[in-house]
Amino acid sequence: MGLWDTITGRSRPKRANLDALFLVPSAAITLQTAAGLNPTGDGSVCFRAAAGAGFHQTQDEIVALLRGAADAPEVQISTDSYGFTWLQVHRDPDDTGGLCTDLHAVNTTLESEGFGPGLLCSLIPFADPSGRRVGLVYLYKKGTFYPFAPTGEQQRDNLLELQVRDTLRDELPIEPELSGWLALWGAPGL
């Protein structure tokens, strides 16, 4: 932080550690054994789309990159009711490592092309045999994860979220402030 930032009371935001996404495959094994939650094979990156040809070209290049791989995942783009864009990737549920690599590539490409400020989060959903779902949400601007477990229209399973937090506390950088655990109503895969 520079002198001018100190005088004006400004601070620089924490830089995202996108490599934390590569911790999720290990955490997935822990969720399977400790809580019976299995990866769904879905994952997504949420961002605010920028106006202009440069952004749309970057987005098209990302989709082409993902679809051009030898083991190409399914890729979709959608927009939610809040105006955020979701780039969704689907792989075999047993390929959590490949899914995290895809999400990392999307995030780093957007960041390197100057669209990092529009990144909101990445989401990796899990489900148990009874149908309960929980998503591991990676907050781009904080570099932390939190669980989100919707149970219906504007309702969530706080007990499951706390159970997942406690289960993964030693494996992932968990968002410490519960007020930072944003609801992602209507998120793809949940």
Query: The domain spanning residue 26 has which CATH number?
Result: 3.30.70
pLDDT tens-digit readout, 75-94? 999 999 888 999 999 999 99
In a domain, 52, yes or no: yes
pLDDT tens-digit readout, 99-132? 999 999 999 999 989 898 999 999 999 999 999 9
How many Å apart are CA 47 and CA 116, to the nearest integer? Answer: 9
pLDDT tens-digit readout, 23-43? 999 999 999 999 999 999 999
> For residue 57, how far is the Cα from the chain centroid?
22
Burial class (CB in 10 A: 0-12, 13-18, 19+), 102: buried
How many Å apart are CA 71 and CA 14, to the nearest integer? Answer: 34
Residue 98 has pLDDT above 90, yes or no: yes
Using CA atoms, how far residue 6 sits from 77, 92, 178, in Å, is 41, 49, 28
pLDDT tens-digit readout, 116-173? 899 999 999 999 999 999 999 999 999 999 999 999 889 999 999 999 999 999 999 9
In a domain, 61, yes or no: yes
In a domain, 182, yes or no: no
Report DSSP state, residue 78: E
Residue with tokens 């989709």: 63
How many Å apart are CA 163 and CA 131, to the nearest integer? Answer: 17
Asked whether 124 and 98 are in contact (CB, 8 A), the reply is: no
Asked whether 156 and 182 are in contact (CB, 8 A), the reply is: no
In a domain, 148, yes or no: yes
What's the token pair of residue 91?
């792989």
| Domains identified in the chain, total number | 1
In a domain, 5, yes or no: no
How many other CB atoms are there within 10 angstroms of residue 63's CB atom?
Answer: 15
In a domain, 184, yes or no: no
In a domain, 1, yes or no: no
In a domain, 72, yes or no: yes
How many other CB atoms are there within 10 angstroms of residue 187's CB atom?
Answer: 21
Asked whether 69 and 117 are in contact (CB, 8 A), the reply is: no
Q: Which domain holds residue 140?
A: 15-168
Band the pLDDT of 70: cuts 50, 70, 90.
confident
